[in-house]
Amino acid sequence: MAQRRRRDIWDLVVVGGGIAGLTAAWHAARRGLAAALFEAQPGCGGQVATVNVLDDWPAAGPASGVELAAALVAKLHAEAVELFHEPVTHVMHGNGVLLVEAQHRTLRARRIVAASGARLRALGVPGEDALRGRGVSQCAHCDGHFFRGRDVIVVGGGDAALQEALVLSELCRSVSIVARARLRARRGFVERAVGKTNVRFIWDSVVEAVLGSGAVTGVRLRNVGDGTSTEIACSGVFPFVGVEPASAFLPQAMRRDGAGRVMTDERCRTSEPAVFAIGALRSGYAGDLVSAVGEAALAVAGIADDLEN
């Protein structure tokens, strides 16, 4: 293991310990840059670490998100990248460098890679918060076994919703996918879901309320076409209705798109030249794991060029 030493200024500070952030920190260390990484959660890997088998990762055999994240963390330890498990609250300028203010410390950095990703959106309906962890979940791999042999609802029409539905279909008696409009998921996911005898689609509908007292007993749905409401019995609700970029720590003046994602150039540089953004935080991100690690490599290459010149 490479030896760590105390630093006054870091070449690069990465904010976010998902696969994109871990990859950026690894590339930085391999290029000889002094790098540190912040991750707010106790473990690294982000949402990918909840996936048992990665569908979009080029590997000789089945690849686990947990194993991929653990392997990258081990590489960072070997390369003497400093990992801090605490949230970053602000990024600001200070005496020619950037100040990365976290919960317990402030680091001075020449460059920053924002790789904090995005948070899954809540439905924002009555009953959801009260029943979170009591039938409302956003991780089929984590919680699916609690619903073995039961009926569950998945809300959403994108890749994440279909992937979760496929995981749950192996455990649950039935999986109902509630979709407001046409599906946005990749064709392969849709075809696999359609081929499952215990998966059905409820079209043109949204969840109005999660029902139950102490545990989920059902949902109330509204048809967006005719406005009618119906109640569907279920034991679990898995909302996957989009994400919100986790960018509150970045300067408010930084350019963002209408959805709040950070805008960058083709090299992932933001409107603040010393800050780069990659992964789900970035406007234009393709949404798959391969794109995330590619952006990490691209951003670090640009940072290395900056610092060398």
CA 288 to chain CA centroid, Å, is 11
pLDDT in tens, the chain (309 residues): 454 445 789 999 999 999 999 999 999 999 999 999 999 998 888 777 666 667 667 776 677 778 888 889 999 999 989 999 999 999 999 888 999 999 999 999 999 999 999 888 999 999 999 999 999 999 898 899 999 999 999 999 999 899 999 999 999 999 999 999 999 998 999 999 999 999 999 999 999 999 999 999 999 999 999 999 999 999 999 999 988 999 999 999 999 999 899 999 999 999 999 999 999 999 999 888 899 999 999 999 999 999 998
pLDDT of residue 48: 75
CA angle 18, 21, 24 (to 5 degrees): 145
The H-or-E segment that residue 90 falls in is strand 88-94
Go through 157-191 and write b for each residue having 16 or more CB atoms within 10 A of its CB, e for each that does not: bbbbbbbbbbbbbebbebbbbbbeeebebbeebbe
State both tokens at 241.
Answer: 């209705």
List phi, psi (to 5°) of 221. Answer: -110, 150
Are 89 and 15 contacting, i.e. CB atoms less than 8 angstroms apart?
no
| Other beta carbons within 10 Å of 207 | 23
State the Cα–Cα distance between residues 247 and 16, nearest whole angstrom: 11
Q: In angstroms, rounded to a whole number, what is the distance separating the alpha carbons of residues 154 and 93?
A: 44
Q: What are 180's two structure tokens? A: 């407001």
The pLDDT of residue 142 is 86
How confident is the model at residue 172, as a pLDDT? Answer: 98
Classify 119 as helix, strand or coil.
strand
Residues 256-270, buried b or exposed e (16+ Cβ, 10 A)?
A: beeeebbebeeebbb
Cβ neighbors of 90 (< 8 A, separation 6 or more) are 99, 101, 249
